[in-house]
Structure 1
Amino acid sequence: MEYTESKVEGVTILKLFGNLDMLNAGILKERIKESGSAGEIKFIFDLGGVSFIDSSGFGLIMSLNDKLAAQGGGLKIVNVSKTIQQIFKISKISSVIQIYVTTEDAISSF
């Protein structure tokens, strides 16, 4: 998995590419771990380039959301494919993590 990073209005936007699975979740986990020392607590994951998420990826998203929320921030998801969106609904993740159509909508929700 690869990602690009940008910041808008104090929000870190990670645009993800590839699979978010057991083999790749550690890359993202390390990046977020670094955020604590930098004071970053507001994140958006753009999943437009993600073709597959397994249970490790979903678990990572949930734990990061909890960690960031406890610090007064949060995690928002944008640009989700129909397949992944269905999995979010079935697993009820979409009832816990907010999913937005556009990055602008996600930024303004903070």
Structure 2
Amino acid sequence: MEYTESKTNDIIVLKLFGNLDMLNAGILKERIRESFAQNEFKFIFDLEGVNFIDSSGFGLIMSLNDKLAESGGGLRIANVSKTIQQIFRISKISSVILIFESLDEALSSFKK
């Protein structure tokens, strides 16, 4: 898995590419750990380039969502493919994490 990173105000946007699975979740986990050390607690995962998410990826997303909320920040997910949207619905992740059709909508949601 690869990612690009940008920052809008105090929101870190990680655009992910490839698979978010057991082999790659550690890369993302390490990047997030760095942000926590710098008191950065608002993230958007842009999943437009993600083809597959396994249980490790789902676990990371859920764990991160909880930690960010406890720290006064939050996690948003944007640009999810239809296949992953369906998995999110089945696993009920979509009832816990805010998911948006576009990056702009996800960014705006932090202002509310």
TM-score after normalising by structure 1: 0.98
Would you say 1:36 and 2:33 are equivalent positions?
no
Identity of aligned residues (%): 75
Would you say 1:99 and 2:99 are equivalent positions?
yes
Structure 1 segment 9-88 matched on structure 2, within 5 A: 9-88=9-88
Consecutive aligned runs of 4 or more in structure 1 exceeding 3 Å deviation: none
| Deviation at residue 27 of structure 1 after TM alignment | 0.3
Q: Quick one: distance in 1 between partners of 2:107 and 2:64?
A: 17
RMSD of aligned alpha carbons: 0.6
1:41-94 CA distance string (max 9 Å, x none): 000000000000000000000000000000000000000000000000000000
How many residue pairs get aligned? The number is 110
| Deviation at residue 9 of structure 1 after TM alignment | 2.0
Q: Which has the higher mean CA deviation after the structures are superposed, 33-42 or 15-24?
A: 33-42
Q: Quick one: distance in 1 between partners of 2:76 and 2:5?
A: 15
| Deviation at residue 106 of structure 1 after TM alignment | 0.8
Which letter does structure 1 place at the counterpart of 2:81?
Answer: S
Q: Quick one: distance in 1 between partners of 2:81 and 2:103?
A: 15
Q: Which has the higher mean CA deviation after the structures are superposed, 79-88 or 33-42?
A: 33-42
